[in-house]
Amino acid sequence: MAIQLVTTAAALRAESARLLTRRRGASQGLVPTMGALHEGHAQLARTAVAQNDVVVASIFVNPLQFGDAADLDRYPRTLEADLALLDAEGVDLAFAPSVDEVYPGGEPLVRITAGPMGEKWEGASRPGHFDGALTVVAKLLHYGTPGAGLPGGDATGAGLPAYRAYFGQKDAQQLALVRRMVEDLNFPVEIVAVPTVRSADGLALSSRNRFLSDGEREAALVLSRALRLIEERANAHEPLDLDSAQALVGSQPLVGLDYFEVVDPRTLEPLAENCRDTPFRGEGLALIAAKVGPVRLIDNAPLNS
């Protein structure tokens, strides 16, 4: 295996500086993950490897973003398989710190607050989730910053390698919040969104799909079908007729719909116009969340007409 596993921030800094110097690297990419990697993560890694001289992937199951201790314990930990997947994609460094390394003084007293954008949609059923996710993303973005320990950088950052971080479109609310945090708090990193990877029948890949029975998996396909209906109407500049797409989801007895809305991709506020009976123009994001059997699934479709 060519990938190198590092478990401390100091080792990450040293190894990233060594690789950037050896390769005269002009860019570094960071792929933050919680492990249990699948083809969706492979796509993030592949994109990062294609765009950067050095690529770091982090694997850290972040306790701060779990509301429930049982959920945190149940989260799959598959380090060996994760390393093999990242290695096959050409990732240079896997950063898999312990909880003590990331939170040496216990849970941090000062955190990032996601604000109102983090309280709706997924945030409504997972209070505090996005505060915890943004707090660790802020820390991971700091850990993965290239150039610390490299000669040639000055205080303005001139001469330092470019820095990009990769997030999946699948977690659309997380992506919108990370973009907002980076913009609002001036993080010197470019956020790159990578399109959702789907299986051939349309189901968005997720580490939770492994908990679906065959029947539930079949039923879950109604989510991507309903999104596709909305997408087709948006592309044709038709009214989105959200009600009929919602009814399609409602017709599947194994699926309990939580929300299905078309929102502004930047603010995540519902689009008042456009989504029901006026022709769709401009930009939107269709968001859906549902419980399929015991498993909560989310999916989305960016709309651009």
Positions touching ligand PAF (CB under 6 A) are 32-34, 62, 65, 133, 136-137, 171, 174
Q: How far apart are CA 114 and CA 26, in angstroms?
A: 32
Question: For residue 172, which of 239, 117, 97 has the smallest C-alpha distance?
Answer: 117
The active-site residue out of 41, 129, 142, 237 is: 41
Active site residue 41: yes
- Nearest-approach distance from CB 137 to ligand PAF, in angstroms: 5
CB atoms within 10 A of CB 3: 18
Q: Which is nearer to ligand PAF, 45 or 234 (CB)?
A: 45
Question: For residue 230, which of 217, 213, 216, 247 has the smallest C-alpha distance?
Answer: 247
Angle between helical axes of 214-235 and 242-250 (0-180°, round to 10): 170
CB atoms within 10 A of CB 302: 16
Q: Which is nearer to ligand PAF, 75 or 149 (CB)?
A: 75
Q: What are phi and psi of 2, to 5 degrees?
A: -85, -20
- Nearest-approach distance from CB 267 to ligand PAF, in angstroms: 21
Q: Which is nearer to ligand PAF, 33 or 224 (CB)?
A: 33
- Nearest-approach distance from CB 65 to ligand PAF, in angstroms: 6
Locate 32 and state its tokens: 């933050």
At 48, which amino acid appears?
A
- Nearest-approach distance from CB 140 to ligand PAF, in angstroms: 7
The torsion angle over the Cα atoms of residues 47, 209, 181 and 139, rounded to 10 degrees, is -80
Q: Output Rg (C-alpha) for the chain, integer angstroms.
A: 20
Q: Which is nearer to ligand PAF, 136 or 204 (CB)?
A: 136
Sheet with 255-263, edge to edge strand ranges: 255-263, 283-292, 295-304
- Nearest-approach distance from CB 189 to ligand PAF, in angstroms: 13
At 158, which amino acid appears?
A
Q: Which is nearer to ligand PAF, 209 or 305 (CB)?
A: 209
Residue owning tokens 């001289």 = 53
Task: Point out the residues that are catalytic.
Answer: 41
